[in-house]
């Protein structure tokens, strides 16, 4: 299969940034699930990509495997594997994969750069929270750097050192600066979540060459920052 993405077809709700015989890198729109839920099994990146590589043939044995996930309302880059072997390899090397996010958060942080560290666990209502008890949670590290400040918002670059569920959203809320539009860990209602998976870099699982992908910051972020990005 050609390494060049065919421009004649882009699955709805996501853009294929890169494709070869081993993996796919896609840019997901906010609002699209990564994988199915009990109430939504078809409007997901996983389902759409499976249909894409099967080219409409339901009997095809082709399938995609989830390497990692983005929250439904987080936009940006995700990697999918085309075999279980490649998926397991990428998961094993996950700590070596550089994942950069951009977020707009409420307020202006006193410390403009740092690393947030805590143990993250989840309660019965599926809400993730920080704990100091290492026996209850999984260790999580989030590196951040303030890029711009405008009014009562800050544009923040985030290096996701570990990849726990809702990690960025919980850690920024812990700092007292929740991500704009976060209905679960912040106080906002009925506005978009300002969190975007902007770039990802890794070694190709087949030949080890360096792969780097980058996406544009969504227009919504520009509007929040009064077009000062």
Which residues participate in catalysis according to the annotation? 71
Distance CA 70, CA 196 (A): 9
Q: Which residue has the tokens 């077809």?
A: 9
- CA distance readout (Å), 124 to 60, 92, 128, 168: 39, 29, 10, 20
Burial class from Cβ neighbours inside 10 Å (0-12, 13-18, 19+) for residue 187 reads: exposed
Backbone Cα Rg of the chain: 18
CA dist 51 and 219 (Å) reads 29
Total count of residues recorded for the chain = 229
Rounded-to-integer distance, Cα 70 and Cα 227, Å: 26
Distance in angstroms (rounded) separating the CA atoms of residues 67 and 161: 16
Give the other-Cβ count within 10 Å of 150's Cβ: 15
How far apart, in whole angstroms, are the C-alpha atoms of residue 129 and residue 136?
11
The encoded tokens of residue 170 equal 């919980």
């Amino acid at each position: 299969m050609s390494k060049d993405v065919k421009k004649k077809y882009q699955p709805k709700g996501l853009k294929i940034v890169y494709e070869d015989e081993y993996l796919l890198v896609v840019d997901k729109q906010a609002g699209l699930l990564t994988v199915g839920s009990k109430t939504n099994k078809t409007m997901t990146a996983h389902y759409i990509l499976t249909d894409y590589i099967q080219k409409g043939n339901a009997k095809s044995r082709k399938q995609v495997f989830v390497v990692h996930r983005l929250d439904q309302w987080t936009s940006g880059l995700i990697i999918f594997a085309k075999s279980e072997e490649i998926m397991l390899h990428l998961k094993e090397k996950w700590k070596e994969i550089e994942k950069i996010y951009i977020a707009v958060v409420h307020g202006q942080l006193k410390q403009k750069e740092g690393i947030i560290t805590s143990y993250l666990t989840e309660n019965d209502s599926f809400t993730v929270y920080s704990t100091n008890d290492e026996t209850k949670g999984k260790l999580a590290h989030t590196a951040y750097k303030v890029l711009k400040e405008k009014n009562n918002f800050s544009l923040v670059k985030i290096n996701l050192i570990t990849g726990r569920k809702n990690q960025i959203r919980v850690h920024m809320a812990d700092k007292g600066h929740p991500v704009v539009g976060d209905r679960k860990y912040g106080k906002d209602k009925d506005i978009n979540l300002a969190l975007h998976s902007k770039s990802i870099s890794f070694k190709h699982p087949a030949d080890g060459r360096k792969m780097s992908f980058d996406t544009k910051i969504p227009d919504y972020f520009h509007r929040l920052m009064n077009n000062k990005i």
